[in-house]
Amino acid sequence: MTHWSVSTCNLAEADMALLLMKLKGIRNSVGSAAHRGTASEAGVVKGLMDPTASLEECQALAVKEFDRLTALSADANREKERDAVPGIVEQALAELRPYGVPSHTQLRIEWSHPDLALPFLGFADFYWEGAGIIVDLKSQLRLSSEISTQHARQVALYCGSISDNIDGRVTYATPKKAATYQVENMREHLQSLVRIAQRVERFLSISSDIDELCGLVIPNTSLFYYDPPTRQAAYEIFGI
């Protein structure tokens, strides 16, 4: 492992066994829902960076990207997720175009803490430098009424790496509506990431042998992270 990420910390918090499997090179498959998010964001980026681009152009680009990403997918939910993409692009653009053209998209973030051996690395979706606003876009099928802890940590890292005065927000977009929520208590979320990373670093320091570390944890294979191949791999690795 060469760096920390918010997703790695969230994975360790959910189930240390999953993190050890990741370190062994075993990852669960990426479903159509994840590709829906990636594809929708591509359409939104086009619409934000080019205010003259029509909604139809942005939607077409997003659907084309979804088709490319899922060309070989056997996911039973593929068509449902594909159908959601145009509406998500429409709702997200209506929500974010009033901010103007972002100064950065996919802004690379690297942040180090003196109590951690490795730095944090991440990429902020949209940054309006002049306004001091960072927005992370999340696509959904059902609109969240508040920011999840995982997403708050993500935005807190992005903002904290730049300045204490950055306004961090999360925009959730569904095919029917969108909402933007401001991240509060960003220092606390950032400290939470540091504490999780510290504990994982201490755990990994027990042994350089991943298989030995696997013998110290119990996988929770009922979690949604475990698709059938990952669950089978867990049974074989952990013997449970």
Tens digit of each residue's pLDDT (9 = 90 or more) over 116-157:
999 999 999 999 999 999 999 999 999 999 999 999 999 999
pLDDT of residue 239: 87
Query: Does the pLDDT of residue 29 top 80, yes or no?
Result: no
Whether 36 is in a domain gets the answer: yes
Looking at the domain assignment, is residue 110 inside a domain? Answer: yes
| Count: domains in the chain | 1
Question: Which residue range(s) make up the domain with 62?
Answer: 6-194
Query: Which is nearest to 99 in space by CA: 129, 65, 54?
Result: 129
Residue 30, pLDDT above cutoff 80: no
pTM of the predicted model as reported, rounded to 2 decimal places: 0.91
Strand ranges, E, within 79-207? 104-111, 120-128, 133-139, 167-173, 178-182
Longest dimension (CA), the chain: 57
Alpha-carbon gap, residue 22 to 1, rounded angstroms? 10
Asked whether residue 212 is assigned to any structural domain, the reply reads: no
pLDDT of res. 19: 94
CA pair distance 162, 166, nearest whole angstrom: 7
Give the chain's mean pLDDT: 94
The pLDDT of residue 118:
94
Confidence of residue 215 (pLDDT cuts 50, 70, 90): very high
232 inside domain: no
Tokens for 179, please give them: 């909402």
Q: Sheet of 178-182: strands edge to edge?
A: 104-111, 120-128, 133-139, 167-173, 178-182
CATH of residue 34's domain is 3.90.320.10
Of 121, 129, 43, 45, nearest to 86 by C-alpha is: 43
Ranking 34-48, 167-181, 187-201, 220-234 by mean pLDDT, the lowest is 220-234
Task: Say which residue the tokens 């189930």 belong to.
Answer: 15
Q: How far is CA 117 from CA 18, 103, 160, 204, in A?
A: 21, 31, 18, 12
**8-22, 166-180, 182-196, 222-236: which range is least confident on average?**
222-236
